[in-house]
Structure 1
């Protein structure tokens, strides 16, 4: 690269005087371009989507596909209370303390880095489930992942989600239920640029406010269980997707499909599941008595 002195000399020889320096406005917020996700086949976004898809590359040592171009900002919620041991879309039982997440498009078994746009902290998660079921949310974190990221004290958090191929050691750590190696925090300047690209929070994205008055708890008879009705949908595929995410069942009722979970032997168990449903955006979730004769 020519030096500053040689550049001035060259301009002098050419007969052109150096142009006076113009004042410049310094903006310390860098331009950050998020990569558009690679188009996926329709089945990639279903609750039972494959572990790898066309347009995905195999993760080194991860044993699953990774969408190499996925990079998006949005809002993360978290889930887990009352769902311990319930089957996930990947087939593995849900483990609340593990560092996992639910996503609509990333292949099951793949990995992603999730960055808090408030603190810059970044963690590595494994995608084991489909979700979020609420429109306008980017990813659902397990409680363990939310705590590791430092967002378990709020219902929604602004995040960046990037697909990536983990090292063998990091993939093995997540498989054992441990956290991957620490990531470098994202600089404040980059966080500001990313926050500028966040979508607006809509009523559908925002968690519902708590009920003004507590619900009256049903009183089951001996041997009678309790059910949690998560929500009712006019779309059967949507109901099936939500039911799978909760480990529940779909019950048709005329032109609607009800998602119900249970039965539960105790009110405390049913209440935990209902609270988890409310935390995930289903503010009308309710506890019901199991119909007589039902199993």
Structure 2
């Protein structure tokens, strides 16, 4: 007996197979991430230690990074609001504040640098223009690492400035500028009270001669009335010891000459120990003791002395004008 053949079964099976295998969309994880989305901020890269000017820098993920220094303006990056730093992760976000105007901007760190001594950060031309320091190489700034929201990050990834930030108040700028001055070894000498003049030694006064006792025999002579004695040192008295002249401090560098500022210390003992180790000289500056080497007539000689100081362990040493 032959069973009836259902000719529609192969067609139904074919439809079911095509529905299972062909039309399913790709999973979201298989799609490439957007080039300018939040994923572009991760992973953050540290990299290996490197050396600039005889000083070795080791990148580190420091969340509470907050420092003052000098900004080099006009590096790489074009019109983007970006910058270069030696140790912070890449990319990361920082607030940069001008210590002259209080203007504060948000910057995305994308590169390693600066590759020259004396600067804390290298800003792109776009970032320098937004901060108001375009074309400068020594603008005083504060650099503070922050964790901004996505609404602030997105424009920076697209090469545009982030929304405006509040200016830093003048009272805080004064504190930050004083911190930078102490870091660079500059103090205001006029603010230090002048030493009081020494009181001159009083002239020795010769005592009045005592009358000699007379014998009871004979008529006593009248005792003359004592006369005032002029303040003249007696011939037999020992003169006061001569004052020993205090050693003169090293002569300050002539204005305009280059010196290497090795450090500034509140203790003279520590300053002299640093001078002995680094080959510098100790100069009093108000309540501080500065250790310097120089002066140097050209920058090449100053750079050599700077490398020597940093090789001795003084990583904060810097070149500056003599004052």
Q: TM-score, normalised to structure 2's length?
A: 0.39
Q: TM-score, normalised to structure 1's length?
A: 0.43
